[in-house]
Structure 1
Amino acid sequence: MIAEIIAVGSEMLTPHRQDTNSLFLTAGLNDLGVSVAFKTIVGDNRRHLVAAIRIAIARADIVLLSGGLGPTEDDLTRECLAQVLGVNLHRDTTILNALRARYAARKMAMPPNNARQADVLDGAHVLPNANGSAPGQYTDIVLPDASGQAFRKIIILLPGPPKELKPLFDFECRPRLSAALPAHYIARRQLRMALIPESQVDARCAPIYSQFEDVETTILAGHAEIQLHFVCSKHTLELAQQRVDTLADLIAREMGDDIFSDDGEDLEAVVLLMLGLREHTLAIAESCTGGWLGERLTSVPNSSRVFLGGAITYANALKASFTGVDPDLIAQHGAVSGPVARAMAEGIRFRTGATLGLSITGLAGPTPGTGPDADKPIGLVYIGLADGEDTQVRQLHITGDRERIRLWSTQHALELLRRSLM
Structure 2
Amino acid sequence: MRAEIISVGTELLLGHTINTDAAHVGRALSALGMDLLQVHTVGDNAGRLEAALREALNCADVVITTGGLGPTDDDMTKETVARVLGAPLEEHKDSLRRLREYFGSRPIAANQLKQAWLPRGSTAFPNRAGTAPGCAVPGKPGQWVILLPGPPSELLPMLEDSVMPFLQRMGGAVIASFMVRTFGIGEGSAALRIADLTEGANPTVAPYASDAEMFVRVTAKAENAEAAEALAKPVVDAVRGRLGDVVYGVNVSGLEAVVVEQLRQHRRSLAIAESCTGGLLAKRITDQPGASEVFGYGLITYANEAKTRLLGVPEEQLACYGAVSPQVARSMAVGVRERYGADYGLGITGVAGPGGGTEEKPVGLVYVALSCSNAVWLRVLRPQGRYLGREWTRRLASSHALDMLRRHMAGLPVEAGWADGLPQD
State the TM-score, normalized to the length of structure 1. Answer: 0.74
Which residue in 1 is equivalent to 2:420? none
Task: Give the C-alpha shift of residue 244 in structure 1.
Answer: 2.4
Show the 5 A alignment for 1:220-299: 220-299=208-287
1:193 to 182, 190, 194: 182
1:312 partnered with 2:312: no
SS state of the match for residue 261, structure 2? helix
1:383 to 363, 368, 377: 368
1:323 to 307, 311, 315: 311
Task: Give the C-alpha shift of residue 250 in structure 1.
Answer: 0.3
1:153 partnered with 2:153: no
SS state of the match for residue 172, structure 2? coil
For 1:284 and 1:109, how far apart are their aligned partners in 2?
52
CA contact (8 A) 2:182 2:247 kept: yes
1:398 partnered with 2:383: yes
1:209 to 168, 191, 198: 198
Which residue in 2 is equivalent to 1:364? 352
Task: Give the C-alpha shift of residue 43 in structure 1.
Answer: 3.5
CA contact (8 A) 1:126 1:136 kept: no
- Which range moved further: 356-365 or 153-162? 153-162
For 1:265 and 1:324, how far apart are their aligned partners in 2?
35
After superposition, the C-alpha distances for 1:164-198 in whole angstroms (9 at most, x for unaligned) are: 9899999998998788x363222211111113222
After superposition, the C-alpha distances for 1:30-87 in whole angstroms (9 at most, x for unaligned) are: 89886655443334555544433333222222334556677959947646764x56x5
Which residue in 1 is equivalent to 2:58? 58
Q: Can you give the 5+ residue segments of structure 1 that lack an aligned partner in the other structure?
A: 143-150
**Aligned partner letter, 2:382:** H
Task: Say if 1:316 and 1:217 are closer, same or farther in 2 by CA, change over 3 A.
Answer: same
**Aligned partner letter, 1:227:** F
**Aligned partner letter, 1:204:** R
After superposition, the C-alpha distances for 1:349-406 in whole angstroms (9 at most, x for unaligned) are: 221222222211222233336xxx8842222222222222222233331352332222
**Aligned partner letter, 1:392:** W
Which residue in 2 is equivalent to 1:4? 4
CA contact (8 A) 1:382 1:395 kept: yes
Task: Give the C-alpha shift of residue 93 in structure 1.
Answer: 9.8
CA contact (8 A) 1:349 1:355 kept: yes
Task: Say if 1:155 and 1:292 are closer, same or farther in 2 by CA, change over 3 A.
Answer: closer
Show the 5 A alignment for 1:103-182: 124-125=120-121, 140=138, 142=140, 152-155=142-145, 181=170
- Which range moved further: 355-364 or 72-81? 72-81
1:41 partnered with 2:41: yes
**Aligned partner letter, 1:59:** C
Task: Give the C-alpha shift of residue 126 in structure 1.
Answer: 5.8
Q: Which has the larger radius of gyration?
A: 1
CA contact (8 A) 1:125 1:137 kept: no
For 1:94 and 1:308, how far apart are their aligned partners in 2?
52
CA contact (8 A) 1:232 1:244 kept: yes
CA contact (8 A) 1:285 1:310 kept: yes
Which residue in 2 is equivalent to 1:146? none
Which residue in 1 is equivalent to 2:323? 335
Task: Say if 1:388 and 1:21 are closer, same or farther in 2 by CA, change over 3 A.
Answer: closer
The alignment of Structure 1 onto Structure 2 pairs a total of residues equal to 394
Task: Say if 1:48 and 1:217 are closer, same or farther in 2 by CA, change over 3 A.
Answer: farther
State the TM-score, normalized to the length of structure 2. Answer: 0.74
CA contact (8 A) 1:136 1:159 kept: yes
For 2:61 and 2:198, how far apart are their aligned partners in 1?
27
SS state of the match for residue 55, structure 2? helix
CA contact (8 A) 2:203 2:219 kept: yes
After superposition, the C-alpha distances for 1:200-238 in whole angstroms (9 at most, x for unaligned) are: 11111222232x222333333222211222223333222
SS state of the match for residue 358, structure 1? strand
Which residue in 1 is equivalent to 2:332? 344
For 2:161 and 2:279, how far apart are their aligned partners in 1?
45
Task: Say if 1:395 and 1:137 are closer, same or farther in 2 by CA, change over 3 A.
Answer: closer
- Which range moved further: 290-299 or 162-171? 162-171
SS state of the match for residue 361, structure 1? strand
Task: Give the C-alpha shift of residue 13 in structure 1.
Answer: 2.6
Task: Say if 1:241 and 1:35 are closer, same or farther in 2 by CA, change over 3 A.
Answer: farther
**Aligned partner letter, 1:199:** G
Task: Say if 1:196 and 1:50 are closer, same or farther in 2 by CA, change over 3 A.
Answer: same
Task: Say if 1:363 and 1:234 are closer, same or farther in 2 by CA, change over 3 A.
Answer: same
For 2:250 and 2:155, how far apart are their aligned partners in 1?
34
For 1:415 and 1:94, how far apart are their aligned partners in 2?
52
